[in-house]
Amino acid sequence: MTKPKILVSRRWPQAVEDVMKQKYDVTFNISDEPLSTTAFKEALSVYDAILPTVTDKISSDVFEVKNPRTKIFGNYGVGYSHIDIPAAKAAGITVSNTPDVLSDCTADITLTLMLMAARRAGEGEREVRSGNWSGWRPNHLIGTRITGKTLGIIGYGRIGREVAKRAHFGFGMKIIVQNRSKINNDVLIRTNAQQVDNLDELLEKSDFISLHCPGGTENKHLISSKQFKKMKNTAILINTARGEVVDDEALISALRENQIAAVGLDVFNDEPNINPGLLKFQNAILLPHLGSATQETREAMGFRVLDNIADFFEGKVPRDRVA
């Protein structure tokens, strides 16, 4: 029996690639650089399945292929705003993602950013490495504690709930959430969380604000100039969701005008290109999209993709179908 032809757009953990080689006629992108629109268009006529990642910009132009051979995009990641979903549907292509398996590690990196920003860890580490540390003194690099503070979570899905659990039980934080749909009380009560009616209320009350909402056009620049004005000037903003959720220019202005105390970012607009204005601020913690970057999670993501395409080729609905 002929094995389905699979294109993998970036290199994956070796353990997953080894399994893939056994099951499929697989082609790996050896260069491990993002593929072009032209390359994706050509691939639609050659492969039965394409396995993209968040680094792949799959616009409507990609789907301008008559009678594509490709019938499923098995996305390596939970977010899929980089794929034009309406265009994929119109082309008759199924899209799946990888929920659940990266919730813990993304929540961990969220707390990492919170602590780094609150305790000015980035500044301190750079000072030590530069040889400019002159020793302990009472007023040196004074930050803020997170214990007992109010954490506002925007988007209360799997990752948001894991962040709440760590913050509430680990640091005694008060949790308030804003979500596009109503959260069941049995979920809120697990961390004694309160759901507020609107975004402004959350911004006004929170000491820390953590973004866990989907990206895409629906939430583009959800946090912009108006929202920064609602925040406390001691607030710290954390984004591990998608870069487009935050307006870069508004963020730069807020940091420059001291409208907020600090920001922690693991995602950016137009990755890997970072707005150079952000690099000027010592109180901006900038990580290179490390949210799911553990061996356990990256392997689990890969095997989840394989589960989805296996479902598809067996004539079943993929367990994580999003389109």
What confidence score (pLDDT) does residue 1 get?
Answer: 73
Domain 103-286: CATH superfamily, name plus number: NAD(P)-binding Rossmann-like Domain (3.40.50.720)
Known catalytic membership, residue 69: no
- Selecting among 123, 127, 201, 271, the annotated active-site residue is 271
DSSP 317: P
- Selecting among 221, 289, 299, 321, the annotated active-site residue is 289
What confidence score (pLDDT) does residue 86 get?
Answer: 96
d(CA 123, CA 282): 6
Would you say 57 and 270 are in contact if contact means Cβ atoms under 8 Å apart?
no
Tokens at 16, concatenated: 């997953």
Query: In terms of DSSP bridges, do strands 208-211 and 25-28 run parallel, antiparallel, or are they unpaired?
Result: unpaired
Query: Of 54, 74, 50, whose CA–CA distance to 62 is shortest?
Result: 50
Residues 6+ apart with CB under 8 A from 24: 3, 4, 5, 6, 49
The model's pTM = 0.95
Known catalytic membership, residue 161: no
Domain with CATH 3.40.50.720 in the chain: 5-99+295-313, 103-286
The secondary structure element, H or E, covering residue 211 is strand 208-211
Known catalytic membership, residue 82: no
Residues of the chain with pLDDT under 70: none
Would you say 63 and 40 are in contact if contact means Cβ atoms under 8 Å apart?
no
Tokens at 220, concatenated: 């583009």
Tokens at 218, concatenated: 């629906």
What are φ and ψ of residue 302, in 5° steps? -65, -45
d(CA 248, CA 224): 8
d(CA 268, CA 247): 10
Whole-angstrom CA distances from 27 to 4, 48, 49, 108 are: 11, 11, 11, 33
Segment 42-94, tens digit of pLDDT: 999 999 999 999 999 999 999 999 999 999 999 999 999 999 999 999 999 99
3-state secondary structure of 95: strand
Residues 6+ apart with CB under 8 A from 316: none
- Selecting among 212, 242, 298, 304, the annotated active-site residue is 242
Q: In the chain, where does DSSP find H-type helix?
A: 14-23, 37-43, 85-90, 103-118, 121-130, 158-171, 185-188, 199-205, 225-230, 248-256, 295-313
**Spelled out in words, what is the top-level CATH class assigned to the domain 5-99+295-313?**
alpha beta
